[in-house]
Amino acid sequence: MCTCKKDCVPIKPVKRLCFSKSRWGNILTWLMKPLMYLAAGTHKEAVQETHFWNREDLSEAGWLPDRSKVVKIPGNKKAFRKRWVGILPISHIPILGGWRDYVVLAPPDSSRKWYVGWQCRGVFGISTIPIRGPVRVLCGPEPCRFFAVTHNGLQISLEKIGEGVIGQGGPFCHLPLR
């Protein structure tokens, strides 16, 4: 149960999402930025910002996204299957063979603040970092459903508007990566 008392919205009575970022989370994210540029292998693209301290696990939320409002991405055959080596999240470190391919997602009205979530085999979560506009998300080896939630906890439609590869630049390389 969220204890922040602020910026929380119920998805079901058993689960509240805390969308306010903590001061420590902001500091950790800022401190991680140079490491994330190194991990991506490029300084010319926006780095991944979702870490364990700014995401919520929804596996026990008792809520499932409306499938008519999600974007389903097939598994990427080229993506490295092993997610962790010790404490390192290898799947999110492109220079060590991690996932490089991404898709770009946006709700029809991307001027509103929204949050991106994902439901893949064994992983069901949401980033607590607000987004305005499109966002990039990595494509792993398993099929995955991505969904969008407003600050009020309402699920909104989501659509795929592009794709790309980390390190290859392109029109989407400066969009946030969650």
pLDDT tier at 14, thresholds 50, 70, 90 = very low
pLDDT of 117 strictly over 90? yes
Of 33, 47, 20, whose CA–CA distance to 136 is shortest?
Answer: 47
Residue scoring higher pLDDT (158 or 48): 158
In a domain, 170, yes or no: no
Report how far residue 83's alpha carbon sits from residue 118's, in angstroms, rounded to the nearest whole number. 16
Report how far residue 159's alpha carbon sits from residue 116's, in angstroms, rounded to the nearest whole number. 12
In a domain, 178, yes or no: no
Report how far residue 115's alpha carbon sits from residue 130's, in angstroms, rounded to the nearest whole number. 5
In a domain, 91, yes or no: yes
pLDDT at 37: 64
Q: Kindly list the distances between the CA atom of residue 44 and the CA atoms of 36, 47, 130, 166, 171, in Å, as whole numbers in the listed order.
A: 12, 9, 22, 10, 12
pLDDT at 71: 96
In a domain, 51, yes or no: yes
Pick the range with the lowest mean pLDDT from 4-18, 145-159, 160-174.
Answer: 4-18
In a domain, 2, yes or no: no
Taking 3-state DSSP, the helix, strand and coil percentages for the chain, each rounded to the nearest 5, stand at 15, 35, 50
In a domain, 115, yes or no: yes
In a domain, 172, yes or no: no
Strand pairing category for 15-18 and 8-12: antiparallel
Q: What pTM did the predictor assign? A: 0.76
pLDDT cut 90: percent of the chain above it: 26
pLDDT of 20 strictly over 60? no
Report how far residue 178's alpha carbon sits from residue 175's, in angstroms, rounded to the nearest whole number. 10
The single residue listed with the structure tokens 């659509």 is 159
In a domain, 174, yes or no: no
pLDDT at 29: 73
- The boundaries of the domain holding residue 124 are 8-165
| Apex 123 CA angle, 119 and 124, nearest 5 | 50
- Number of structural domains the chain divides into: 1
